[in-house]
């Protein structure tokens, strides 16, 4: 596959323009040799093969994410909870940190494919579980977005050093949290990659609650909402509102690093038009919105994973060879 045509796997420029509610500038991936060395081996994620001049090289399994798992380590927090994480060391910058979505964990396809990429090209990589999710300890009904944001900041502050820029990759809720990290630790963040980033859509939750549910929340009781068995409490809703109003109700978002926002047209959780709205608010001039016509909210089909890896690789090359 020719690296210069990689974007044609997902949508044509014409369909992309017609799909977006607002116009925006879209920069196609440059077919440089340094970039091509990664696009070629990662191109056929679905089949696990790449074309070479004389033979096929099998780089990925059919699963595309199957590889030797690093061991799970635990970081003890001040309150006694343990934060589970998997860390891959590397000698090349920037590092990459994956932020899972709501009630998700570090074992998903996106987290693993990025780990595989970083291992191949010797970049530091961290994936972790928020408190009360996955292998991390904690009481789920005591969690708020502020607690989970603190978890991300703990990972950044503990496992990276000043002068070691990071690319944060956030899925859904993680895409919203990565924005707050970029605002609180701008010197640590080189770039952001959001996948179906959840920003202020969460505030619609309280609007749709019944009067009975509102009364329970006001009495400091939990309500089982639309997200499975997750117990919603007043503190959780207040945290949602606080984080949203602190950033996204402003006319602009003072983030100036490189940002890539990936979204699927078939996302029935967060509208893909949200990504263009985020783009318009960001102060950075280096923002790209990439739309996949076939992707849903999970963004985990083989072609979606390829799109994600290509975006991260673009930012890595941009760090190595600034435009």
> Which residues have a catalytic role annotated?
172, 267, 297
Q: H helices of the chain, where? A: 13-19, 33-43, 109-120, 145-159, 173-184, 204-207, 211-218, 234-247, 273-281, 302-320
How many other CB atoms are found less than 10 A from the CB of residue 278?
A: 24
How many other CB atoms are found less than 10 A from the CB of residue 243?
A: 22
- If phi > 0 it is left, if psi is from -120 to 50 it is alpha, else beta; for residue 174 that is alpha
- Whether residue 64 contacts residue 48, with contact meaning beta carbons closer than 8 Å, is answered with yes
Scored b (16 or more CB within 10 A) or e, 136-146 reads bbbeeeebbbb
| Integer Cα distance of 145 and 42 in angstroms | 34
Measured CA distances, 134 to 149, 243, 254, 297 (Å) = 16, 24, 32, 20
Closest CA to 187 of 162, 160, 211: 162
Measured CA distances, 29 to 206, 239, 310, 318 (Å) = 41, 38, 9, 11
**DSSP letters spanning 97-157:** EEE--TT--TTSHHHHHHHHHHHHTT--EEEE--TTSTT--S-GGG--HHHHHHHHHHHHH
| Integer Cα distance of 102 and 104 in angstroms | 5
Closest CA to 167 of 156, 151, 154, 158: 156
């Amino acid at each position: 596959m020719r690296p210069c045509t990689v974007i044609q796997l997902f949508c044509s420029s014409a369909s992309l323009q017609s799909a977006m509610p607002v116009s925006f500038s879209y920069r196609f991936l440059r077919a440089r040799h340094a970039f091509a060395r990664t696009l070629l081996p990662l191109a056929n994620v679905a089949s696990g093969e790449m074309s070479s001049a004389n033979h096929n090289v099998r780089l990925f399994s059919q699963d595309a994410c199957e590889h030797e798992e690093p061991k799970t380590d635990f970081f003890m927090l001040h309150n006694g909870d343990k934060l589970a994480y998997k860390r891959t060391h590397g000698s090349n910058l920037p590092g990459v940190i994956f932020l899972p979505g709501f009630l998700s964990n570090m074992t998903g396809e996106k987290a693993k494919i990025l780990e595989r990429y970083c291992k191949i090209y010797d970049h530091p990589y961290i994936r972790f579980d928020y408190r009360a999710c996955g292998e991390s300890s904690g009481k789920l009904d005591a969690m708020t977005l502020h607690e989970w944001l603190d978890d991300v900041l703990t990972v950044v502050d503990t496992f990276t050093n000043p002068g070691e820029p990071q690319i944060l990759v956030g899925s859904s809720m993680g895409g919203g949290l990565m924005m707050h990290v970029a605002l609180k630790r701008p010197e640590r963040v080189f770039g952001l990659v959001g996948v179906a980033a959840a920003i202020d859509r969460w505030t619609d939750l309280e609007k749709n609650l019944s009067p009975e549910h509102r009364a329970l929340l006001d009495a400091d009781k939990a309500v089982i909402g639309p997200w499975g068995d997750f117990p919603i409490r007043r503190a959780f809703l207040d945290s949602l509102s606080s984080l949203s109003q602190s950033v996204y109700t402003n006319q602009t978002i003072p983030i100036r690093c490189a940002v890539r926002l990936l979204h699927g047209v078939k996302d029935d959780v967060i509208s893909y038009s949200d990504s263009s709205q985020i783009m318009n608010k960001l102060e950075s001039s280096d923002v790209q919105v990439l739309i996949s016509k076939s992707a849903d909210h999970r963004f985990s089909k083989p072609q979606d994973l390829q799109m994600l890896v290509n975006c991260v690789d673009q930012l890595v090359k941009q760090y190595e060879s600034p435009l």
